[in-house]
Structure 1
């Protein structure tokens, strides 16, 4: 599937970190469509159904023919819950609790529930969400075995039946990508936060494997959860890196990158957004957006001319966090 270079991630309109009104979410999607953005990535986990529901409502109004490309995810079932307040990073989310389940039955049930929330007859790209040791720790082998023995087959069956066009994984770590590519065939990998100005761990090994096997790569989290999304980060508060406050070393590296960008007259967010697209294996980058102003900013950042000398300077400064 041919993807546009710029898509929209929807975790933010699922109330990640802060509440967003229904109207603000609708305006964001409408502004994205008006700006020519035709690819939207979402997941049941984002606001526990809230992001999918809001995206579906907006697209039903503005894209009734279903021309927009949608990717969503499986691997968690949403169980009704009375819990309130901030949970798993989401504020004022829908009344459900996400429960990991990578079995075939859960994959099918999650897919059907997403179709209802998205108000669509089909989903273009289906991704297994958050496999890997980073998320599951000691439970990783059991979840991986369930996926390989059961869930992956269900995803293939959905693709073969024409219910989805492409299947893959949506993860935050490189190791699970390599592990799965050695075992199963994937069409696409959505890798969040692992190919950015602050973290280039994926480029040397994963992209080579993907190129050999014809696997497309989508980069999520180009701003590493927000730390690269603005200039003047040295005096900023409330910054996030990988969904938590950045440590002093990470903050220092980010400031160092910003200083280099400023030397060439380029904003930090523009460089951060365009950095993943330097790789020919990257099909699309999907920053989160809230509000028409952030949509407009994303379009402007993507169009910002960036001299080769800036990329060379960033490479020479070795602005890579070593795991």
Structure 2
């Protein structure tokens, strides 16, 4: 592994260990993902303040979220905080360009600024994207930068070409910025574990952000990605531990799985898990959070919340007592793979 030094003289591998270590204060392992723009009453700054008061010191965002609005709000909410007291991550791969409102698709985002988002994983574009993000967030550096969404979920049949573009452009650009001290750690943020494995085999990464693929419902990464991360001392950051909804709501009508209505086979498996939850008095969401956090490769969870109440609920689920017999029953029923660790 290269021993690139940042402007404070620290090796990036040392920074990775210090910034993404397993902290005895469990709540510090939960990052606040600022995913949706705030409501019109300014809920996001209040949520960040609440997260801070609860001990959260890691915040994740991306240019995609609200077409720059999330970065803007997160940066301004943290503006008066001591920069050495928190970890800040954002992402590259989309260029925001001024464009009239109504001339581009905003997707799920509301109240977006007039910026069109276009994919671009080229070297020069990524350097410009990082500069733009620094200005939007009023920052002089980042702790983590992820190459965002170079997966099949996002690009379909064009994924191999987009991934090749990132290998030639985005990743070398981030390595340069890591060498220069603009960022302390670099990684990939995607929805598919096999893409993460390929990236780790090709690039000297410090961390991996995997959304929705290591959960109570999906555990295959325990056989490849997670052991590889342990071997290489790469920090795994997990998002989507509720599989975009169903592991928080349960198997209710309209439950979401991987951003779509949950299919019947998924709902059936969730019902099986819920039977053991009811038997042991364990909230499904608490089990989902604590299972995801149990693997030694996992250094941090990204738990999104729409408001302060959901933020506090996430914290309560993280601390909810769960008897060992619950995990034993799930494993005996074939609902947890033998290789997957459970909370001790």
Q: Same fold (TM over 0.5)?
A: yes
CA contact (8 A) 1:80 1:96 kept: yes
- The residue that corresponds to 1:281 in the other structure is 297
User: Any conservation in 2 of the 1:22–1:54 contact (CA below 8 Å)?
Assistant: no
Which whole-Å CA distance do the structure 1 matches of 2:41 and 2:172 have between them? 36
Partner of 1:53: 72
Indicate the residue corresponding to 2:185 in structure 1: 166
Which of 90, 109, 114 matches 2:133? 114
SS in 2 for 1:124: strand
- Corresponding residue to 2:97 among 61, 79, 83: 79
Within the candidate set 16, 29, 52, 1:5 is matched to 29
Partner of 2:230: 211
C-alpha RMSD of the superposition: 2.0
Task: Tell me, in whole angstroms, the C-alpha distance in 2 between the residues paired with 1:79 and 1:211.
Answer: 39
Q: Distance in 2 between matches of 1:246 and 1:85?
A: 29
Tell me the distance in 2 between the aligned counterparts of 1:29 and 1:203.
Answer: 32
**Segment of structure 1 superposing worse, 270-279 or 141-150:** 141-150
TM-score, normalised by the number of residues in structure 2: 0.85
Instruction: Say yes or no: does 1:258 pair with 2:274.
Output: yes
Residues 88 and 320 of structure 1, relative CA distance in 2, 3 Å threshold: farther
2:208 is aligned with 1:193: no
The answer to which of 30-39 and 253-262 deviates more is 253-262
Report the equivalent of 2:320: 304
Q: CA deviation at 1:65?
A: 3.8
Which deviations, in whole Å up to 9, do the C-alpha atoms of 1:140-159 show, x marking residues without a partner? 22212211112211100100
What CA distance in whole angstroms lies between the structure 1 residues aligned with 2:105 and 2:46? 24
Range moving further from structure 2, 78-87 or 301-310: 78-87
The answer to whether the Cα contact below 8 Å between 1:132 and 1:175 also exists between their aligned partners in 2 is no
> Quick check: 1:313 aligned with 2:329?
yes
Change (3 A) 1:21 1:199: farther
Q: Distance in 2 between matches of 1:83 and 1:92?
A: 12
Cα separation, 2, equivalents of 1:118 and 1:58: 9
CA separation in 2, counterparts of 1:260 and 1:79? 50
Report the count of equivalent residues. Answer: 312
The equivalent of 2:285 in structure 1 is: 269
Mapped partners of 1:157, 1:177: distance in 2: 20
1:308, 1:95 → 2: CA distance? 51
TM-score for the superposition, normalised by structure 1: 0.91
Uncovered stretches (5+) of structure 2, i.e. residues with no partner: 1-15, 21-27, 338-344
Residues 98-151 of structure 1 show CA distances to partners (whole Å, capped at 9, x for unaligned) of: 211111111111111111121111110000001122321221222122111122
CA distance in structure 2 between the aligned counterparts of 1:312 and 1:35, rounded to whole angstroms: 31
Q: CA deviation at 1:90?
A: 2.2
| Structure 2 residue 164 is the aligned partner of structure 1 residue 140 | no
Stretch deviating more after TM superposition (201-210 or 166-175) = 201-210
CA distance 1:54–1:138, shift in 2 (3 Å): same
SS in 1 for 2:63: coil
CA distance in 2, matches of 1:35, 1:213: 32
